[in-house]
Amino acid sequence: MKILKTSFVLCILLATSCCTSSKTSKNDMSTESNETMANSKKMMADGFTLGTVVASTVEGDCPYVISSEIDGNKVLYDPINLDDTYKKDGMKVWYKYNGLRMMNRCEKANPVSLSEIQEMK
């Protein structure tokens, strides 16, 4: 009988602790999401564009491009001054750029000069 009572109490404690931690997790995720959205709005207001670094090993292709969606259209930029720190396939970055009047180094992307860049957090 004593073992049954102990088992019952342990089950209740386990169930209670699980419910409490999931509520905290939802609140933490909601707070993170709100912070991410606020940061995104601030970055866009400061003139940054969100993009993803894409690496390629195909011959004749740009080794690294930044893929973004601007006004509902997918665009690819060939950053001529991309620092090695950001040469990671799939890395999300915030960047500011200036268009360049030079011949394209590859067919799919327009050359740009990055004036500012930082990894998305």
3-state secondary structure (DSSP) of residue 2: helix
Which residues constitute the domain of residue 26?
Answer: 1-46
Kindly state the helix (H) or strand (E) to which residue 10 belongs, with its residue range.
helix 2-45
What global pTM score does this model have? 0.70
Q: Which of 24, 9, 120 is nearest to 66 (CA)?
A: 120
One domain, residues 98 and 41: no
13 and 41, same domain (yes or no): yes
73 phi and psi angles, rounded to 5 deg: -110, 140
How many domains is the chain built from? 2
Bridge partners for 92 per DSSP? 52
The string of pLDDT tens digits covering residues 43-83 is 999 999 999 999 999 988 999 999 999 999 999 999 999 99
1-56: pLDDT as tens digits: 666 555 555 556 555 555 544 444 555 556 667 888 888 999 999 999 999 999 99
Question: What are residue 76's phi and psi, to 5 degrees?
Answer: -125, 130
Do 37 and 56 share a domain, yes or no?
no
| Whether residue 111 sits in one domain with residue 58 | yes
Are both 19 and 51 inside the same structural domain?
Answer: no
Q: What is the CATH number of the domain that holds 71?
A: 2.40.50.500
